[in-house]
Structure 1
Amino acid sequence: MLAYTVYSEAGGVGKTTLAANLAKAEERAGRDVLVVDLDTQEASLSYLLDVADDRDDDQADSLLRHMIDRPRGDFDDLIKSSEGIDIVPSHNILEYASKHLRRREEEAADFGESWNPNKQLLRVLREAGVHEQYDTLIVDPPATADIKLHNAIHATRHLVIPFEPSGKGYESVQGLDQLVGGLEDQLGIEVGVLAVVPNRYKGMNDQDRFLEEIEADGWEIPIRLRERSSLLEGCWAEQCTAFRYIDEHRERERDHELDTVEKIERLAERIRETQAVEA
């Protein structure tokens, strides 16, 4: 199964829209796709794909309940669908994931049991047979490097990292070695970077220089996504991927928008190829 986490330390770089559109590209390639939304922001992937109805329902079952062994139903009942993609939506209780997971760890220790709070998403997915049911798993965590990110990485072992090709964005990518190395040391696993994805690329000389330096450092940059404010704002307004937005909400096709979704499909294909080579 192809599995990766879409993550960036910097906010506002299109992490969630990239995750949603990569999921749609995978679905269009004929693959069964599950997306796990671990981001508690209101403007989350669950909102973008219009499956966030239960996020503030205290009585609803949630992924965190399954992670701390207090489910209110089957895992399959958590799953919602949108545009042919299966999604485990975010829930507001995830804001307290660290507290509840650490408490569960302490309870286990009191009884002489080993219980790793960073491996609970992996456990839940394995017990649900996700690796047998799906071809692709994509996890969208928050931008903060907290216990939700650690669970995402334990479950996927791979990262796709969007960034803005600017001085600040370049610094964030330059810190990738430190970020990945720190996660590997902290979690005791190997973490692969399948691609870094420049977003809001404008073809400026400074941006090209940044990207050339990043590639010289050995990072894979399969595509460059140009700034498409109108398209992405439309996606959030209509709560859909760029693919559906172009099909259903544009009166006429726009070449630059078609180019964007074609690049996302090429990126999805490249990620599949890269992980296949690693495997």
Structure 2
Amino acid sequence: MLTYTPVSEAGGVGKTTTAATLAVSHARSGHNVLTIDMDTQNGSLTYFFGPDYDRGDPNIDNLVRHLVGRPKGDFYNLTHEVEAGVDLIPSHNMLEDLEEFLLNEKDQAENFGESYSMYHQLHRILREADIREEYDVVIVDTAGKAGPILYNTLVAVRNVVIPFEVTAKGEESIDGLDDLVDGLEQNINIDVGVLAIVPIGYKETRDRQEILKKVQNDGFPVPIVIGQRGSLIEGCWKQQCSPYKYIEEYRNRQRDYELTTLNKFDELSRYLEREADIGSPEVTV
């Protein structure tokens, strides 16, 4: 099974579009894919794929209720099929108060002499749902900053893919994320692996070449590099669909550089599948 989260401390680097594009790429190669939106921002996977769902309705069942042990229904009733065989568990506004909810659960457990880990709750509900029997790939779109949402994600998936702007600021964000993961590993005794660094919006300049080379020399895997594709990504957000669907249904002519971008994402998803030893059952073209 392949589980990971695209994560970055820097904003605007394509974290959500990376999650969505890789999810569809995995599905097009024949895998059953679950995406989970744990990002509190409106511009998240829930908006990107646009399922019929009211994230502000306090009465509907949602992921947060399951995280704090108060579900209103079965875990699999949370899923929506959104595109190309990709299932999505949408984000809900209750996520903004997740830390408070988890602290309350922790206090209640301790009052009864029970142990309670605030950061293992996503892992718990995925295990209880026997997620491995249903899905080959699980991708979580999560918060970029330290806190219970990110920690729950990392404990559950144990792997990160890091979208990366090849600048000094982007390099600093990798270092910051590396420190955060090290601290989390020490505090709750888990291992988190970096599956790939993904340079996005890359321009071939001497300074950027040096930064990219340094990242590689530091031992981080960089299987692909994505150039600037602003119009493609903007179109995807406008139409609320993956780049694959956008090119097939909303472009009146094919653009070679956009097809090259999709080929790069396919190359990355095959790389990630090989890392997890799940292979590709079939390829959809």
- TM-align CA RMSD: 1.2
Given that 2:201 and 2:226 are in contact with CA atoms closer than 8 Å, whether structure 1 keeps it comes out as yes
**Which range is displaced more, 170-179 or 181-190?**
170-179
Change (3 A) 1:202 1:52: farther
Per-residue CA distance 1:228-274 (angstroms, 9 max, x = gap): 11000000000000010000000000000000011001001111222
Contact 1:52/1:89 (8 A) holds in 2: no
Letter in 2 for 1:93: M
Unpaired stretches in structure 2, ≥5 consecutive residues: 279-285
Indicate the SS of the match to 1:118: coil
Q: What secondary structure, in the 3-state scheme, does the structure 1 residue paired with 2:119 have?
A: helix
Q: 2:9 touches 2:177 (CA, 8 Å); kept in 1?
A: no
Comparing 231-240 with 128-137, greater Cα deviation is found at 128-137
Matched-pair contact (CA < 8 Å) for 1:52–1:90: no
Q: Deviation digits for residues 134-170 of structure 1, max 9, x if unmatched?
A: 0000011011111011111111111111110011111
Deviations 1:59-103 (A, max 9, x none): 111101011111111111110111120010000000000000111
Q: How does 1:61-140 map to 2 (within 5 A)?
A: 61-83=61-83, 84-140=85-141
Q: How does 1:140-159 map to 2 (within 5 A)?
A: 140-159=141-160
Q: TM-score, normalised by structure 2?
A: 0.95
Query: Who is 2:36 aligned against?
Result: 36
Query: What is the alpha-carbon distance in structure 1 between the residues aligned to residue 58 and residue 177 of structure 2?
Result: 37
Given that 1:194 and 1:275 are in contact with CA atoms closer than 8 Å, whether structure 2 keeps it comes out as no
Partner of 1:12: 12
Give the match's secondary structure for 2:194. Answer: strand
Counting matched residue pairs gives 277
Q: 1:96-143, CA deviations, whole angstroms, 9 ceiling, x for partnerless residues?
A: 000001110110111111111111111111111111110000011011
- Cα distance change of structure 1 residues 52 and 227 upon mapping to structure 2, 3 Å threshold: farther
The CA distance in 2 between the partners of 1:107 and 1:161, in whole Å, is 36
% identical aligned pairs: 47
Aligned to 1:162: 163
**In structure 2, how many angstroms separate the alpha carbons of the residues matched to 1:97 and 1:52?**
23
Distance 1:177 1:124 in 2: 27
Question: TM-score when scaled to structure 1?
Answer: 0.97
Supply the distance in 2 between the matched residues of 1:99 and 1:51 (Cα, whole angstroms).
Answer: 28
Which amino acid counterpart does residue 14 of structure 2 have in structure 1? G
Q: CA deviation at 1:224?
A: 0.6
